[in-house]
Amino acid sequence: MEMTAEALVETVERRTARVAVLGQGYIGLPLSLLLASSGYSVVGYDVNKSLVRRLERGDLPIEEKGLSDLLEEAGERYTPTGDPSALEESDVFIVAVPTPRSNGGADLSYVWSALREVAERARPPFGVVVESTLPPGAFRRMIDRSLGGAGLLGRDFLAAYCPERAMPGRLVRELVENPRVIGAYDGKSARMAELLYRSFSKGDITITTPEVAEVVKLVENTFRDVNIALANEVARICDALGVSAREVIEIANKHPRVNLLIPGIGVGGSCLTKDPVFLASSAEEAGYSPKVVESSRVLNEDMPFYALRIILDSLSRTGNGRKRVAVLGVTYKGGVGDHRESPVEPIVRGLLSRGVEVVVYDPRTEETFGGKRAESLEEALNGADLVLIGADHPEFKTREFRRELSRLPRGTVVFDGKWALDPREVEAMGLVYVSVGMIERLNSVLSRESERVQISSL
């Protein structure tokens, strides 16, 4: 007797369903291990053969708290593979592949490819869940076109959209604890997906339509992008007015209805830089031009270049000869090794294009964006005319770090791109603290130096 869609849902509930996760990156890998640790037999499929070989050796490609424990707990229930034929015995397929930005919209080629693989390998009845971020309307369109030939929805296959909502650096914790939204075609599809995620998730699960789920995911990250843009705008206003943005934001946030975020050198990562673009482009296709979303993205994308201008201005006042900049941290945020869309990249490349020597030290990644890699903090700081804090890694908040920083020559500029340091501590070392929203400190120091020169010449 052939299995029915109802029976498929029962296998998911009993955790006897065989699950295939297509894509073993930042979301697909921890998701695979969570499902395997929950009792499912999981095939982790990826087209990257070198990645698969690493996983087969038990060598995790990303550093995330709790991930190695999950790998050990999953044991033989997790099988990494690059062989698409290994998908053929699976009952449920989860698509967790990238959807990068392309020409102002979404590049859905990886999702199309994954769904074609499912259509070719799956045997009805089967379930499909897409985790990849999609623009509104894409899920329904892609499922209809790629799986329509597989049979009838609700009878031959089930389909749901469950966008990831986890942040690198806290992936395992957030996959387990964050609330989830499931956009489903029908009740059976919703039930299948809910049972699957309930096997490891402690957060609330909301069932809605695929279109609502698509917009929810984009709005969440757009909210962050817009609020960061407001903080960056405040910082630039304060720079123009010659007041401290740090003091302004600190005092303003004492108001119970104000919660300004921290400004910086820009927004990075694979989500915040693209999701507002997906939302805006979808709105424009529907006939509405979103002003706030688009202007926020423009401002945030300009922040690395604004920071670069401040850095170059600072270097121009440090005397003659070739300048040397120590860049500490190139990842898009602190505590992770992910450098995708890092705002540090255009700063480094901009400095290099102007003949500045750039030395990079990052304990989390080997990426340098063309700069020279330093093997130690001491090596990076040696001979630096300016120090750029590009990522607020925990390693840059230790007593040992402050000790190394204090050995810099008096008057060395420290550009804090993440507001990671205490300006008073830096200045107590005899250094010049500068950041977005606080260039008045540089101007103040230079003004005092100018006064000394004038007095000494009398």
Question: What residues pair up with 372 in beta bridges, in sequence order?
Answer: 359
> For 377-445, where are the E strands, in sequence order?
386-389, 413-416, 432-434
Q: What whole-number distance in Å separates Cα of residue 440 and Cα of residue 248?
A: 13
Q: Which of 194, 12, 207, 181 is nearest to 91 (CA)?
A: 12
Rounded distance, CA 284 to CA 211, Å?
16
Sequence letter at residue 89: E
The full DSSP string for 189-205 is HHHHHHHHHHTT--S-E
And the tokens for 418? 């993440």
Strands (E) located in 370-431 = 372-373, 386-389, 413-416
- Per the DSSP assignment, residues forming a β-bridge with 127 are 92, 158
Marked catalytic residue, from 271, 274, 333, 418: 271
DSSP 304-322: HHHHHHHHHHHHHTS-SS-
> Beta-carbon neighbour count of residue 400 at 10 Å?
9
Structure tokens at 127: 């379930």
Indicate if 271 belongs to the active site: yes
Q: Pick the closest to residue 408 from 317, 326, 311, 288 (CA basis).
A: 326
Q: Among the options 162, 188, 217, 323, which is catalytic?
A: 217
- Are 360 and 387 in contact by the 8 Å Cβ rule? The answer is no
The angle, 0 to 180 degrees and rounded to 10, between the axes of the packed helices 291-316 and 275-285 is: 140
CA 12, 188, 162, 45 torsion-angle sign: positive
Active site residues: 217, 271
